[in-house]
């Protein structure tokens, strides 16, 4: 079972997940339409790229966009959640041991303490996401069952991973659960809203190009996001 999940299944998962995300990114660009979008992408590429990069940077750097500054509490939790989500699995020691076994190389690894803190941050962040969906009417009205399901899918690998890491209960069971939930999460990436992992960049880039080309960029006036 373990061998299957970390062998062929993992390969399939990676292929579907990363391949799928790549397909989505390509499809996105192919589906842009200068006239319907009303953005002259090609002739003004330089202005567009500049606007697009400004737009992406404003939203991936904490407190850069005005949005992040007017909502400091949310911003901290939001970034902590996403950083934990991305950094922990990539730089976790246990994952890199597997990587080393399979390919003979590994990435720098996180000290256990840091990995623990990051994993817990994710859990707390996820909990916060759920609570604010329930607590705030402006979020509640747009929240659907699907939104909760995606949060569950996202934090499940962290819950199972932490249980396994603290060796609570049957280690092997929780290890399997961890691997399966991780693979489910990866498989969901291209097919669900989790595709924002790449589509965030595409959408932000597009709107940034819009601003960089016709909404001020060519007038020499950078928008303060």
Binding site for other proteins (CB under 8 A): 27-40, 42-44, 55, 59, 66-67, 70-71, 74, 132-133, 136-144, 147, 193, 195-196, 199-200, 202-204, 206-208, 210-211, 213-217, 219-225
CB-wise, 101 or 193, nearer to other proteins? 193
Compute the C-alpha angle 184/124/79, nearest 5°.
85
In angstroms, give the least distance from the CB of 206 to other proteins: 6
In angstroms, give the least distance from the CB of 199 to other proteins: 5
In angstroms, give the least distance from the CB of 93 to other proteins: 31
Q: Are 98 and 6 in contact (CB under 8 A)?
A: yes
Distance between CA atoms of residues 84 and 123, nearest Å: 9
CB-wise, 105 or 144, nearer to other proteins? 144
| Most distant CA pair in the chain, distance | 64
CB-wise, 100 or 221, nearer to other proteins? 221
What lies within 8 Å, CB to CB, of 119 at 6+ separation is 84, 88, 158, 161, 162, 165
Distance between CA atoms of residues 103 and 113, nearest Å: 26
CB-wise, 33 or 46, nearer to other proteins? 33
């Amino acid at each position: 079972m373990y061998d299957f999940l970390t062998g062929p299944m993992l390969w399939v998962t990676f292929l579907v997940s990363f391949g799928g995300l790549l397909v989505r990114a390509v499809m996105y660009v192919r589906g842009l339409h200068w006239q319907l979008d009303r953005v002259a992408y090609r002739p003004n590429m330089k202005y567009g790229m500049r606007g697009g990069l400004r737009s992406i940077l404003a939203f991936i750097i904490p407190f850069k966009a005005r949005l992040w500054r007017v909502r400091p509490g949310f911003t901290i939790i939001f970034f902590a959640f996403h950083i934990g989500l991305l950094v922990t699995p990539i730089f976790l020691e246990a994952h890199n041991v597997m990587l080393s076994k399979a390919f003979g190389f590994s990435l720098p690894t996180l000290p256990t303490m840091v990995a623990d803190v990051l994993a817990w941050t994710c859990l707390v962040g996820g909990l916060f996401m759920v609570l604010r969906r329930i607590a705030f009417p402006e979020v509640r009205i747009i929240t659907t069952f699907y939104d909760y399901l995606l949060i569950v899918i996202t934090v499940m690998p962290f819950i199972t991973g932490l249980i396994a890491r603290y060796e609570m209960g049957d280690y092997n069971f929780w290890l399997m659960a961890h691997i399966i939930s991780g693979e489910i999460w990866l498989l969901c990436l291209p097919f669900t809203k989790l595709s924002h992992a790449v589509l965030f960049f595409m959408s932000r880039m597009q709107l940034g190009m819009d601003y960089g080309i016709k909404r001020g960029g060519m007038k020499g006036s950078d928008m303060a996001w």
